[in-house]
Structure 1
Amino acid sequence: MRAAVLHETGQDKLEVLDDVEPTGFGPGKVRLRIRATGLCHSDVSAMNGVLPQPVPFVPGHEGAGEIVDVGDGVTGLSPGDRVLVCWLPACGGCPACRRGQTHLCLTGFMNAGTPNFRRSGGEARSRDVFGFAGTGTFAEEIVIGAGCAVPIPDDVPFDIAALIGCGVTTGLGAALTTAKVEAGSSVAVIGCGGVGISTIQGARAAGAAQIVAVDPVESRRQAALRFGATEAVDPDGLADARTRVTAGEGFDYVFEVVGTSATARTAYDATRRGGTLCVVGAGALDDFLRISMFELFFDEKRILPSLYGGGDVLRSYERAIALWRAGRIDLAGLITHRVRLAEVNDAIGQMRTGAALRTCIEI
């Protein structure tokens, strides 16, 4: 089959190969034909080395498709079922799962160092290919654990389901589950890619009165306004927006959706005393946020990291679908927003005809 492969960390282009096959099919596993996939910024972070990932690897962890085959012991799933890919499945039995924090289950990371694909030629070591986050949805087919394949209703298109598999769930969950945005509150969202836009939609669904979108890219600022932001500014305009919207006090909630210490510090400064800073962006291991012990104590700002939306992902999927059906969030428009200029666009375009992939690209 064909798959888009990154050979070395730091490269900005993928090579579409036709000699790749998924490996590991057996008990407890399913084989899935990918019908739609998205490029999340986390994939880009793995490509450029911000997030650790063995190479060579197939990017992609936002995906949806049809089950081709199921291994022994798999129940509740059958060939032909429509599913989305859950890159962070819950085992149900670890301490985190028993506490109800299924998004903190580490089971999904246990096989991160195991190759997901193999090339048919070359020496043994060079034949192994990994899949990002244990998946690798930039391929025609993948093999994943049964817990990673979540059935979707027939009325949910594959491309929308793929986005629910990560970006939508992450952004909505940050606003609704982690931060618990209150009706009538003021919100600022720094970073208006796919996850940032989903955070804006979550804040709007929660009833926030003012939502200020912050992004250096004009097209993203305009998109943020279409998706529910009450105003949009470039980073240099944040201080003025804070003065106008909050009389200089600071926002009730500020969401950092970039993943750098610089933007996190900006978000902290834009949060009112006693307010909430929610860190959504995935950053580097060696990028440290500096906050003095005095301001940490004196400002009493809540600093809340949000991983994958901060809650039970299966319930989060259901919530996203319910809000979409009710017209409370726009996911079709989000797909259009996410199709942007990207170095991988040409490579993915080559795959569409043969692999029947519909790709939602965002950098």
Structure 2
Amino acid sequence: MSRSSRAAVHRHGSQDLDVTVVDVADPAPGTVLVRMGASGVCGSDRHVLDGDWTLPSPTVMGHEGAGTVEAIGDGVTDVAVGDHVILSWFYPCRRCTACLSGKSYVCTGSRSEECLLPDGSSPLTLDGERVFPYLTVGSMSEYAVVPEAGAIRIPDEVPFDVASLIGCSVATGFGAVVNDAGVEAGTSAVVVGTGGVGLSIILALRLVGANPIIAVDLSEDKLAAAREFGATHTLVPSDGLAEEIAAITQGGAAYAFEAIGRVQTIESLPSLLAPGGKAVIVGLPPEDSPVSIDALALAESGKSLIGSNYGSTVPGRDFPRLAALYLAGRLPVDRLISHRIGLDDVNEAFDAMRRGERARSVIVF
């Protein structure tokens, strides 16, 4: 059996989404049917729409999602009907070496990036044609079917719009600071790019006690938001950016985070660091975007450059932790949301993102 679901569908060659009706299958063994409450509109979705990344097509977009469990397949024990859940866009297989060593964020058995369930199937069709859920989530739809490992139970008190952002941008930013960089209280940090992920990084830096926190962006509106979220200094990119940061930090930042995904800004990260500093690539560039780094200078100064994938998030551990921080008033995720929209407004939200407008748009079902 299946049910009808309004969804935002993308096909190769178009930057726009078609809001139409797809068929969603009942949950198979080991999977969960979720009635969506909210879906974030994320830059990773835009990469697909703009042709930067290649994925199967047609695709129901959206990978930041939260909702209510409507039905469960045979063998599912982690969640029950009626539970509120956040969806993870990288479901772990729970069997590979990485998963068994606690590093599910580099699971080698997941089929998320193929946009497929563990058995190689998709739960979605449109007029008899197979449709792929983006990263095996497809949250821009009234209903989604996901693997049990990709649905993480959270308290009912967390609003769905907040929960959806915890599922990607907040977890990515928080994890980059806490899991990957290990930022210590009182140490300096610079964040290049203050969109949704960049603001999440700033929230996490403030939470762990970093100081000073320097935000860098071209947009004065985004820099104003960065100050609201905890940046102590804001700068506009310039040829003298490294010198300005050195003056503020007395020699360079201890940590630098790139939250845009631009080759030029990634290449500039080491210059913003003090000797022994750590730079973290959080923003994801288009496919086939090599970066040039002066390896000798990096080594001689004892600096490090690391990649952060999903903030090394372990969803079953980190989503409830972030939800608890929100409920305690220590992580004001709701303040990241600048626009709450309907599904029919999704193309306008992506156009605003391309213009560098808005903090975060969230589709509310």
Q: TM-score range by the shorter chain?
A: 0.7 to 0.9
Give the corresponding residue for 1:232. 234
Counterpart of 1:334 (choices 333, 336, 357) is 336
Instruction: Answer yes or no: is the 8 Å Cα contact 1:223–1:337 preserved in 2.
Output: no
2:196 matches 1:194: yes
Partners of 1:302 and 1:219 in 2: CA distance: 31
Name structure 1 gaps, 5 residues minimum: 349-357
Instruction: Answer yes or no: is the 8 Å Cα contact 2:16–2:49 preserved in 1.
Output: no
Instruction: Answer yes or no: is the 8 Å Cα contact 1:35–1:64 preserved in 2.
Output: yes
Counterpart of 2:124 (choices 114, 117, 120) is 117
Give the corresponding residue for 1:281. 283
Partners of 1:246 and 1:230 in 2: CA distance: 12
Give the corresponding residue for 1:250. 252
Instruction: Answer yes or no: is the 8 Å Cα contact 1:63–1:162 preserved in 2.
Output: yes
What letter corresponds to residue 308 of structure 1 in structure 2?
Y
The residue matched to 1:165 in structure 2 has which SS? helix
2:19 matches 1:16: yes
The residue matched to 1:262 in structure 2 has which SS? helix
Partners of 1:65 and 1:359 in 2: CA distance: 17
Partners of 2:78 and 2:340 in 1: CA distance: 33
Partners of 2:147 and 2:305 in 1: CA distance: 34
Identify if the C-alpha distance between structure 1 residues 257 and 359 changes in structure 2 by more than 3 Å, giving closer, same or farther. closer
Spell out structure 1 runs of 4+ moving beyond 4 A: 345-348
2:134 matches 1:135: no
Partners of 1:224 and 1:359 in 2: CA distance: 17
Instruction: Answer yes or no: is the 8 Å Cα contact 1:116–1:135 preserved in 2.
Output: no
The residue matched to 1:235 in structure 2 has which SS? coil
Partners of 2:339 and 2:253 in 1: CA distance: 26
What letter corresponds to residue 158 of structure 1 in structure 2?
F
Give the corresponding residue for 2:162. 160
The residue matched to 2:338 in structure 1 has which SS? helix
Give the corresponding residue for 2:244. 241
Identify if the C-alpha distance between structure 1 residues 359 and 23 changes in structure 2 by more than 3 Å, giving closer, same or farther. farther
Give the corresponding residue for 1:70. 72
**TM-score, reference length from structure 1:** 0.88
Partners of 1:268 and 1:262 in 2: CA distance: 12
**TM-score, reference length from structure 2:** 0.87
CA RMSD of aligned residues (A): 2.3
Aligned residues: 342
- Can you list the C-alpha shifts for 1:237-266, whole angstroms capped at 9, x where unaligned? 73353143123x221100011112211012
2:53 matches 1:51: yes
Give the corresponding residue for 1:353. none
1:262-277 counterparts in 2 under 5 A? 262-277=264-279
Instruction: Answer yes or no: is the 8 Å Cα contact 2:176–2:311 preserved in 1.
Output: yes
- How far did residue 51 of structure 1 move? 2.5
Name structure 2 gaps, 5 residues minimum: 351-359
- Can you list the C-alpha shifts for 1:265-305, whole angstroms capped at 9, x where unaligned? 12221112210001111122311111133123212211121
